[in-house]
């Protein structure tokens, strides 16, 4: 890989060698600098192979084994649980985070004049369900603004959120991410969860930008519901997401739809006079149509690869990528472009307004795949990106715009 003639190939850093990550594990061409894992994770070779096998198997549907299909559903359920509390009974398979959080919004009690707390600029999947629910019942939606310093630079979300939790009138639900999707700013969920529970409110988490990259301490945080996509840091298939439900909601939660796979199968096809019992645990929330063999095969392969690498090593490697990129930018004199808040595994750059267009254009010309949203350039490397490539990107940005 090269950027403007700079050789970005280098010996694998120590963290990479320890974790046995190989660039060949990822199907990213050598001439592409892919820094957009926060939009869609890079494709793993193992996942691509699984997808092809499943697609080929679909040409002979008469050979498909129902028992094997059910087993593959449970395999994926266990894979998702391994990134949360390890309990497969807590996982529902859903098509999207929006679906899962709409289910959470429907189930959690909320009355007129009570408050739901979210972040300003929160991703729509974890905003729209709460906006609609508040409108339906006459509740209040409070959006926590991010603090800024005297120079207008963004600060840490966590203090602002904890303060809002303490002040919100009749707080009923806090629906929050672990990492803000714009720039990787990390929220202190240890503090936030404790403050939420002290108010007697429910906690709902969208971990789409952190699950697979950061540990999720479900036991400490005690959320009611957790949702995550599968195609970002979990490296699986698009269109298959996960909803974790706390033990109480596994027993009394109401699904958004009624279909056979979420019921005990023994009599479901016998036209019983009343619905058969719901499936065990969070399976009652499983959505219809998402357990498609190719999606299942891709997601199972991704979970298998992550397990083989070791989740702690994956987390450490991704944090190392974020640190390396921040250090490379500071070395190029671009530290002022970084968010002031603690960063995670990816970051958003805020160039001066007069340099924003030039920086984005320089990245585009060099084939550096990134996301531009408003005044933020988001750079999200995965494990296939080495130190030399990140240093080259930082040098490129330093040269852009004069």
Q: What is the pLDDT of residue 15?
A: 46
Task: Write the pLDDT tens digit of every residue in 240-286.
Answer: 999 999 999 999 999 999 888 888 776 677 777 878 888 899 999 99
Beta bridge partners of 204: 175, 225
Beta bridge partners of 379: 347
Question: Token pair of 198, please?
Answer: 């002290």
Task: Write the pLDDT tens digit of every residue in 182-226.
Answer: 889 999 999 999 999 999 999 999 999 999 999 999 999 999 999
Cβ neighbours of residue 114 closer than 8 Å, sequence gap 6 or more: 139, 140, 170, 171, 172
Give the whole-angstrom CA distance, residue 54 versus residue 295. Answer: 9
Give the whole-angstrom CA distance, residue 99 versus residue 106. Answer: 11
pLDDT band at 18, cuts 50/70/90?
Answer: very low
Domains of the chain, each with CATH number or no CATH:
2-47+310-399 (3.90.1150.10), 61-308 (3.40.640.10)
Give the whole-angstrom CA distance, residue 158 versus residue 177. Answer: 11
pLDDT band at 132, cuts 50/70/90?
Answer: very high
Strand 371-373 to 376-379 pairing:
antiparallel
Residues in the chain: 402
The more confidently predicted of residues 138 and 375 is: 138
Give the whole-angstrom CA distance, residue 200 versus residue 216. Answer: 21
């Amino acid at each position: 890989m090269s950027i403007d003639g700079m050789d970005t190939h280098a010996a694998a850093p120590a963290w990479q060698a320890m974790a046995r990550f190989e660039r060949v594990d990822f199907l990213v061409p050598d001439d592409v600098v892919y820094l957009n894992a926060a939009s869609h994770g890079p494709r793993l070779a193992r996942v691509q192979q699984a997808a092809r096998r499943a697609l080929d198997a679909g040409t002979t549907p008469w050979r498909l084994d129902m028992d094997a299909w059910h087993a593959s559903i449970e395999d994926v359920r266990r894979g998702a649980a391994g990134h949360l509390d390890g309990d497969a009974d807590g996982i529902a398979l859903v098509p999207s985070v929006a679906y899962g959080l709409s289910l959470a919004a429907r189930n959690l009690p909320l009355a007129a004049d009570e408050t739901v707390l979210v972040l300003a600029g929160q991703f729509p999947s974890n905003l729209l369900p709460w906006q609609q629910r508040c409108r339906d019942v006459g509740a209040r939606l409070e959006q926590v603004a991010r603090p800024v310093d005297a120079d207008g630079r963004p600060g840490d979300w966590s203090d602002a959120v904890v303060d809002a939790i303490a002040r919100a009138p009749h707080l009923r639900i806090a629906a929050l991410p672990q990492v803000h999707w714009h720039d990787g700013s990390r929220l202190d969920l240890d503090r936030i969860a404790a403050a939420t529970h002290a108010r007697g409110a429910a906690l709902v988490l969208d971990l789409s930008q952190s699950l697979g990259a950061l540990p999720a301490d479900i036991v400490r945080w005690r959320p009611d519901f957790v949702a995550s996509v599968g195609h970002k840091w979990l490296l699986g298939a698009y269109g298959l997401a996960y909803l974790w439900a706390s033990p109480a909601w596994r027993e009394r939660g109401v699904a958004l739809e009624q279909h056979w796979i979420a019921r005990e199968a023994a009599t479901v096809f016998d036209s019983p006079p009343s619905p058969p019992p719901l499936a065990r645990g969070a399976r009652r929330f499983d959505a219809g149509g998402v357990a498609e063999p190719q999606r299942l095969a891709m997601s199972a392969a991704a979970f298998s690869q992550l397990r083989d690498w070791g989740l702690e090593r994956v987390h450490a490697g991704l944090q190392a990528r974020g640190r390396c990129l921040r250090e490379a930018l500071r070395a190029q004199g671009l530290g002022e472009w970084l968010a002031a808040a603690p960063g995670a595994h990816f970051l958003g750059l805020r160039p001066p307004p007069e340099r924003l267009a030039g920086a984005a254009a320089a990245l585009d010309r060099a084939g550096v795949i990134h996301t531009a949203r408003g005044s933020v350039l988001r750079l999200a490397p995965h494990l296939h990106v080495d130190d030399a490539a990140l240093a080259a990107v930082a040098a490129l940005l330093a040269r852009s715009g004069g």
